[in-house]
Amino acid sequence: MEPTNEFTTERAESLAAEGWGLDVRAEALVGFADDNFRLQTEDGRRFVLKISPPGTSDEWIQCQISALQHLATSPLAEVVPRVISTRNGQTLLPLGGESTQPRWARLMSYLEGKPLAEVAERPPGLLEEIGRTLARLDLALADFDHPGAHRDFDWDLSTTPKNSHLISDIGDPSRRALVETHLERFDAHVTPHLFELEHAVIHNDGNDYNLLISETQIGDSRLAGLIDFGDVLYTATIAELAISCAYLMLDRDNPLEDAVHVIRGYHSIRPLTRLERELLPDLIVGRLCTSLLFSAKGRRSNPDNSYLQVSEAPMWRLLEGMTMDQRDMLGKKIAGVCRSAPARSAEEILSIRRRHVGLNLSVSYSEPLKIVRGSGQYLYDDRGRRFLDLVNNVCHVGHCHPHVVAAGQRQMAELNTNTRYLHDHLAEYALELTGSFPDPLSVCFFVCTGTEANDLALRLARTHTRTKEIVVLEHAYHGHSPSLIEIGTYKCEGPGGEGLATHAHAAPIPDAYRGPHRGPDAGWRYGDDVARMVAELERAGRPPGAFMAESLIGCGGQVIPAPGFMPEAFAAVRAAGGVCIADEVQVGFGRAGSHFWAFETLGVVPDIVTLGKPIGNGHPMAAVVTTPEIAESFFTGMEYFNTFGGNPVSCAIGLAVLEVIESEGLQQHARDLGEQFLAGFLEMAPRHRLIGDVRGLGLFLGVELVRDHETLEPADTEASAVIDAMRDRGFLLSTDGPLHNVLKIKPPMVLTAADVAAVLKNIDEVLTEIEATT
């Protein structure tokens, strides 16, 4: 479609008045499809009025508007046009008139700046900034979707060879042959790999007329704007970079170098996978071909439209210059850039870690992974391999969720200070967070790690009850400070440990599959154990001041406490004057599926709850929530000041995480996927002698492997073999439990039903293989 030029400036002015109540002067602008006008008010405010060609689909325009609205809340808000609603609050003004087909008018903010095409001086810093901006754009759009973006589009780079029917429009036979050869190569080398590339909605037209450069600060390398979202499309994400490179290489003295600067910038923000790097040169050439085919077609059908032909001559020069040698050279340069960016080899990093980082930190897998990027439920390594992350419960709403990232970036750019100043975010977050708890849990303390939260929980309990005596569960881990190491047998009875402190008393894990009590009433019998322990302590004149347990037991082997246990244990400890601490550092925030907090699934309300890991989706923050009574006891006159806890950035991030859980329905999603997982594992269990027990709640699951269903001999080496084989198939899992024989599953909550099906299928196959050889 092309501009109709049916609209006069007077008509544009009257539309602005009618729709938006603006008194403006209009000036026509060049456009590819829309009739565009720049509007200026008397007081100097500027806008762009865009009028779509007749017959443009409503859905398609809505898609552009939604994309811009989505970006308005992202770190790119400053460089993309803002959509301005009409006086009636509409984003589109329907137009009647000349044509019977619908036309739409919409208004955008006007971004000042000079098109890059008119900027001769392009320092590497500017080009890198363009690359970084394109990468940020792609990251910001990664979670955006709209039906209008899924369309057949001639300018979809992934379907380039489809345009070959236009080859006959190219007059010169040698040029015709050149384009034909490139399209054939595209079909042979790119098309077969398209399905392996990450796909998302992209801008799809970062050409040198759509990139605006700040005129006064060119020396300062400022990109002022990215305009024209008229080509927005769901396609291979890497097309974004390829398209920009194709245009940015036009008429340059050293086109490859210019492209490499852009690619370096892009890669520093959104690292390219190996496949993306390999296909990039062919994709760049593909875009040149499409552009030349359409300008040949345009010249045939409309010899007077100069806009269509604006870059034709330099395009041919560039395409003719992109010989196989040049393309190979570009490929090598790209590989170099991606290697040399911030990249050290895995061996080099390990060696630095060995020399300069405390040795008490093991690395996952015998052949460690170097993970360079995360998105949603996926992690990507430096070789471009994609892994489904099934164990990271920290990146709760998905790795690098754009809404959370944007909230943090925005606040970080505005203010980050301590909580001795008043700030809206803290008040809002305290309200939101405590609002998610049942009464009387209504007072929170903000800290930075799960360890700090549990350490503070111990202090609260001790100040309230005036004793350190505590009942914990065997094999528990609550954190790495001395106060927590000495009460957690996972650490203090392991290598380097010094045993339980005399004030700590460990009761058996309420595991109805393995352990002293089994069967349907096991929970009550485990509860009796705690009651007996409490009674003995009372007889010894040392009644417990606290009971501390994870609501669902992680390090202990992904155990769902047997029914009856928690209410009975809580009652016994409370009867002795103690308080109950639920450690929800791993399992809170909807993971349990049926409830937002895992303790709610157990029929208890704790006195103190500790939160961590998922609370900030990877940002270091944590919290303690307690009752007004316990908080009052702690108010002794000694201040509780935490330099970083509750700062405005953390609170902005915490709020964003809560918003995503709510807006994406992640709690219900966890319940549904949990049921799918359980059903799948239970279905395969009869076929696998290694599967001893399958258990879980929501997206917190464990599959216990045993060699013998009577003795329950743990199948630990087999469990490790499953983990390794799954890793080779692109799934990151790990084992847990005192006997290292439980496959643990606690993925980011944005996993999909298709992911679950793939995990089940692969575990099924891997177990079959391992069972055949052991």
Ligand X SMILES: Cc1ncc(COP(=O)(O)O)c(C=O)c1O
For ligand X, the binding residues (CB under 6 A) are 449-451, 454, 477-479, 550, 554, 583, 585-586, 612
> Angle, nearest 10°, between helix axes 274-301 and 173-189?
150
For ligand X, the closer of residues 110 and 700 by Cβ is: 700
Distance of alpha carbon 135 from alpha carbon 240, whole angstroms: 8
For ligand X, the closer of residues 286 and 618 by Cβ is: 618
DSSP state of 325: H
> Virtual CA dihedral for 451, 455, 456, 462, nearest 10 degrees?
160
Distance of alpha carbon 36 from alpha carbon 50, whole angstroms: 5
Distance of alpha carbon 503 from alpha carbon 508, whole angstroms: 17
The string of DSSP codes covering 96-139 is: -SS-SS-EEEEEEEPPP-EEGGG-----HHHHHHHHHHHHHHHH
For ligand X, the closer of residues 481 and 676 by Cβ is: 481
**CB 451 to ligand X: min, Å:** 3
**CB 369 to ligand X: min, Å:** 20
**CB 612 to ligand X: min, Å:** 5
Q: Tell me which amino acid residue 357 is.
A: V
Distance of alpha carbon 587 from alpha carbon 699, whole angstroms: 9
Asked if residue 547 lies in contact with residue 578, where contact means CB atoms within 8 angstroms, the answer is: yes
For ligand X, the closer of residues 47 and 490 by Cβ is: 490
Name the β-bridge partners of 94: 104
Q: Interior CA angle at 281 toward 275 and 282, to 5°? A: 85
Q: How far is CA 580 from CA 470, 472, 553, 605, in A?
A: 10, 10, 15, 9
**CB 583 to ligand X: min, Å:** 5
For ligand X, the closer of residues 290 and 454 by Cβ is: 454
For ligand X, the closer of residues 273 and 586 by Cβ is: 586
For ligand X, the closer of residues 611 and 655 by Cβ is: 611
Name every residue whose Cβ is closer than 8 Å to that of residue 250 and which is 6 or more positions away in sequence.
Answer: 208, 311, 314, 315, 318
**CB 392 to ligand X: min, Å:** 12
**CB 234 to ligand X: min, Å:** 38
For ligand X, the closer of residues 7 and 477 by Cβ is: 477
For ligand X, the closer of residues 70 and 746 by Cβ is: 746
Distance of alpha carbon 35 from alpha carbon 33, whole angstroms: 7
The phi and psi torsions of 445 (rounded to 5 degrees) equal: -125, 135
Distance of alpha carbon 470 from alpha carbon 457, whole angstroms: 12
Distance of alpha carbon 750 from alpha carbon 115, whole angstroms: 39
Asked if residue 658 lies in contact with residue 674, where contact means CB atoms within 8 angstroms, the answer is: no
**CB 255 to ligand X: min, Å:** 49
For ligand X, the closer of residues 20 and 490 by Cβ is: 490
Q: Tell me which amino acid residue 468 is.
A: K
For ligand X, the closer of residues 404 and 691 by Cβ is: 404
For ligand X, the closer of residues 469 and 550 by Cβ is: 550
> Virtual CA dihedral for 202, 208, 211, 212, nearest 10 degrees?
-170
**CB 554 to ligand X: min, Å:** 5
**CB 496 to ligand X: min, Å:** 17
DSSP SS3 for 738: coil
Distance of alpha carbon 134 from alpha carbon 248, whole angstroms: 13
**CB 364 to ligand X: min, Å:** 14
DSSP SS3 for 452: helix
Distance of alpha carbon 528 from alpha carbon 395, whole angstroms: 37
For ligand X, the closer of residues 238 and 621 by Cβ is: 621
Distance of alpha carbon 733 from alpha carbon 137, whole angstroms: 31
> Virtual CA dihedral for 580, 585, 587, 588, nearest 10 degrees?
80
Tell me the pairing of strands 371-375 and 223-226. unpaired
Closest CA to 319 of 177, 205, 192: 177
**CB 481 to ligand X: min, Å:** 8
Q: Interior CA angle at 577 toward 575 and 582, to 5°? A: 90
For ligand X, the closer of residues 437 and 477 by Cβ is: 477
Asked if residue 146 lies in contact with residue 66, where contact means CB atoms within 8 angstroms, the answer is: yes
For ligand X, the closer of residues 258 and 583 by Cβ is: 583
DSSP state of 424: H
Closest residue to ligand X in the complex (CB): 450
Distance of alpha carbon 571 from alpha carbon 355, whole angstroms: 51
**CB 477 to ligand X: min, Å:** 6
Q: Tell me which amino acid residue 178 is.
A: L
**CB 448 to ligand X: min, Å:** 8
Token pair listed for 156: 């979809």
The string of DSSP codes covering 201-246 is: EE-----TTTEEE-STTGGGT-EEEE---TT-EEEETTHHHHHHHH
For ligand X, the closer of residues 363 and 757 by Cβ is: 363
**CB 500 to ligand X: min, Å:** 17
For ligand X, the closer of residues 107 and 623 by Cβ is: 623
Q: What distance lies between CA 253 and its chain's CA centroid?
A: 39
For ligand X, the closer of residues 286 and 554 by Cβ is: 554
**CB 344 to ligand X: min, Å:** 26
> Angle, nearest 10°, between helix axes 255-269 and 124-141?
40
DSSP SS3 for 547: strand
Please report the beta strands in 42-96, taking only residues with DSSP state E, as ranges in sequence order.
46-51, 83-84, 93-95
The phi and psi torsions of 395 (rounded to 5 degrees) equal: -80, 65
**CB 479 to ligand X: min, Å:** 4
**CB 470 to ligand X: min, Å:** 15
Helix (H) or strand (E) holding 461: helix 450-465
DSSP SS3 for 219: helix
**CB 349 to ligand X: min, Å:** 22
